[in-house]
Amino acid sequence: MSMTIGDAFARLTRGGMPVRFTAFDGSETGPEGAAIGLHLRNERGLAYLLTAPGDLGMARAYVMGDLDVSGVHPGDPYDLLVLLKDNLRFWLPSPGDALSILRDLGPGRLRPPPPPRQEQLPRWRRTLEGLRHSMARDAEVIAHHYDVSNHFYELVLGPSMAYTCALFERPDASLEEAQAAKFDLVCRKLALEPGQRLLDVGCGWGGMVRHAAREYGVRSLGVTLSLRQAQWAKAAIDREGLGDLAEVRHLDYRDVMENGFDAVSSIGLTEHVGVRNHRAYFTHLRERLRPGGRLLNHCITRSHNRRQETGPFIDRYVFPDGELIGSGSIIRAAQDAGLEVQHSENLRQHYALTLAEWCRNLETNWDECVAEVGESTARIWGLYMAGSRIGFERGELELHHVLATRAAETGPAPFPLRPDWRP
């Protein structure tokens, strides 16, 4: 009797499938009556699963619509991912099982189909085609992620257009309240006052630039590598009548040569810089500050300081060339660049809450999001945000604020005996 697809996957998964799995050949495996199910629709999906066992193969089949999910919404597949993360383990079959699977399913199914169009080349192929973290290559990968569609981001992020961790001062705070609280905390940590100058690197759609100008009377300059972000931010600045205080440029942060800024904020840029470049990055930002000025670095970090590449799904579909490291390495790089680190804070739990809100927006606006960017891209975003939420909930990922100062000409920068901002 020939092996069915369900039989094959029962053998390839240690402990069996934790969800109900059905396939186009009529076979099935996994617990009967399960609340969540996976259905393999066609031969191409099977080839994806067999030629890239694990997360990447499942992602390819799911993104292409060859693997359907029931019991969860594609805008927020959180419950499915928790179940798979806790219970699904692929393992190498014995030689006998491998031969049986190959014979019964057919060797032709081991020919990899073309990957989804959204998938970037593997890391090693990209390295052959351009120096990692060169200005040109950084511009390409930023465009890959951020130039999807401004309207799509409006639907997912909400009116704030803030694509970074929010600050929930109370559990029932709205996403908009939490994003405003985040920007305000950064402003307070930087001790901004009317008339001062702020540089915001990696400014996105200009949320920090506009908040600092509107609420603190600060002359704010933001720079972003995304042309669409810069265009949206400029329009928002004009709409709010902030043109005399706020400016956003389409520019690499390394090309900012002005100096004498009272404060520098970097909210979500460090992840794109590259760990080997952190000292040069902090050195460049230090040189933009006046003596005594403050720098606030807000970035995703790991729970350890070992070098570790991002997984294939995140690297190929979400943040090509993105690199994360622990807060200890971030602090060391800042210190090695001549900055005095004054304070560090972990906002890990807040990012889990932020991602849950973004998934809720994606689910609520699913049809419009699909109309804007296509179902495959919308599915990628649901996977990425729900999976990231799990990482922050479980402490695999963290979010750190690191506040530092540039020394004054006569010695260390003056700093209060206790923090001068409200926690």
Return d(Cα 222, Cα 217) in angstroms, integer: 15
Q: What pLDDT does 27 receive?
A: 94
> Which residues contact residue 252 at a Cβ distance below 8 angstroms, ignoring those fewer than 6 apart?
135, 138, 139, 223, 225
Domain spans in the chain, listed from the N-terminal domain onward: 5-110, 137-406
Q: What pLDDT score was predicted for residue 103? A: 72
- One-letter amino acid at 193 equals E
State which amino acid sits at residue 212. Answer: A
Residues 369-384 have a mean pLDDT of: 96
Pair 37, 21: CB distance under 8 Å: yes
Which CATH class for the 137-406 domain?
Answer: alpha beta
Confidence band, pLDDT 50/70/90 cuts, at residue 24: very high
pLDDT tens for 221-257 read 999 999 999 999 999 999 999 999 999 999 999 999 9
Predicted confidence band at 386 (pLDDT cuts at 50, 70, 90)?
very high
The helix/strand/coil state of 52 is coil
Q: Report the mean per-residue pLDDT for the chain.
A: 90
Query: What confidence score (pLDDT) does residue 229 get?
Result: 94
Cα gap 290→137, rounded to integer Å? 31
Which pLDDT does position 52 carry in this prediction?
Answer: 84
Query: Which two tokens mark 48?
Result: 């994806």
State residue 377's pLDDT score.
94
Q: Which two tokens stand for residue 348?
A: 């890990």
CA distance 110 to 227: 41
Instruction: Please state whether beta strands 20-23 and 28-29 pair in parallel, antiparallel, or not at all (unpaired).
Output: antiparallel
pLDDT recorded at residue 112: 87
What stretches of 130-206 show up as alpha helix (H) in DSSP?
135-146, 150-157, 175-189
User: What distances in angstroms separate CA 399 from CA 122, 183, 273, 350, one per listed residue?
Assistant: 27, 15, 16, 8
User: Scanning the structure block, which residue is given the tokens 């699904």?
Assistant: 88
CA distance 231 to 213: 18
Residues 66-125 have pLDDT tens digits of: 999 999 999 999 999 999 999 887 666 666 666 676 676 776 667 889 999 888 877 656
Q: What is the pLDDT of residue 309?
A: 77
Nearest to 170 by CA among 181, 159, 161, 160: 181
Place of tokens 């933009």: 288
pLDDT score, position 94: 61
Which segments within 225-276 are labelled E, that is strand? Answer: 246-250, 261-267
